[in-house]
Amino acid sequence: MADASTAVLTIDLAAIAENYKILTEQVAPATCGAAVKADAYGLGAAMVAPVLHRAGCEHFFVATLDEALALRPILATSKIYILNGLPSGAAAILAAENLIPVLGTLAQIAEWGSFCRANLPRPAALMIDSGMSRLGLSEGDMMRLAADPASLQGVPVVHVMSHLACSDDEKSPMNVKQLTLYQALVTGFPWPEGVKPTLGMAASSGCFLGTDYHFDLVRPGAALYGLEPMIGHPNPMRPVIGLEGKILQIRDVDLGMTVGYGASHQFRGRSRLAVIGVGYADGIFRSLGNRGAVFVAGERAPIVGRISMDLMTADIGHLPSASVHVGDAVEIIGPHQSVDDLARDAGTIGYEILTALGSRYLRRYHAPGTHPTGGMPA
């Protein structure tokens, strides 16, 4: 049950819809899909996916079968791709729910092909490893497939994708290297008769590398949720989340006093502390201790001492006493500090901040055309 001290996470669904529009225009005439894996990057796939669908999205990408099964009742007719591939023995489940496995090994292709030939043809996608050395078919695998076209009989391959390693850096030579290999592997591949898959390799950052990287279908994720897609460029995306903690206590401190575990911060004179009711259990990384900041009454207040499980402390000695009170909201993410700003202070990336958001927040969703709506902590 939320109370007056509960931290509030605001999620602007209208901004997500606007970001989808921005990306759709950026990659036209290619089709824009959406990555909603990891519970829509921590923001709630059950709330986010319908908004994207209403905005025109028909291609949704998740990581796991469980994520796909949770989305299917919400997205009854949309294409849902499982990026982690075909779980062993799960072909019948995917077929029953009309889910599309992204096959990344010859063994997965063999299992899906065997199922399809014994039952009915079912669509699949292929993942080509063009340089990430993670999931996907190697160059050698693609050559073996080309030499054995029968292995794809009964498997309507609807999409062939790859994944860029350095797309947030437009100057990286890795981009051209991967593009060249991907094009070489898909051009002239002997697809079975009647199969003409769409192509794609761009996620969020790849959408901004130019038309050579767009192909037929892109699958942005982070940019939809407001993260900056390109290094060294202004962020073209609309901010999506706001995060506010509440001040639980205000303390006077003096010369020589310390704060928090390990006594890692010692005061050099008189000051005042705001004790804020969020901690690393809520996704506020411990690495922000003594290096990050929050904003109190619109002013920057450095985080002092270590972040603990449920609490953090900020130095507010420079603010007038009358401007700060117990119960006041403290901006952790908002107009003064983006997700990416907070991530840089924490020594990480915005993706990790979003997906680490804890379960104790009161989540308030701002749907397109409505006022913010309250929700139970989720």
Q: Is 246 a catalytic residue?
A: no
Provide the strand spans (E) within the chain: 8-12, 31-32, 34-35, 59-62, 79-82, 100-103, 124-127, 157-161, 198-200, 217-218, 241-253, 258-259, 265-266, 271-276, 293-296, 299-302, 312-315, 329-333, 362-366, 372-374
Nearest 5°: phi and psi at 55?
A: -80, -5
**CA–CA distance, 28 with 31 (Å, rounded to integer):** 7
Amino acid (one-letter) located at 226 = G
In the set 20, 177, 261, 365, the catalytic residue is: 261
Contact criterion met (CB below 8 Å) for 128 and 137: yes
Q: Which helix (H) or strand (E) holds 91?
A: helix 91-96
Closest CA to 52 of 27, 88, 80, 26: 80
Q: Which two tokens stand for residue 7?
A: 């931290």
CA–CA–CA angle 197, 99, 30 (5° rounding)? 40
Query: Which one of the listed residues 37, 41, 213, 365 is annotated catalytic?
Result: 37
What 3-state DSSP class applies to 197? coil
Tell me, yes or no, if 37 is annotated catalytic.
yes
- Give the residue numbers annotated as catalytic, written as ranges: 37, 261
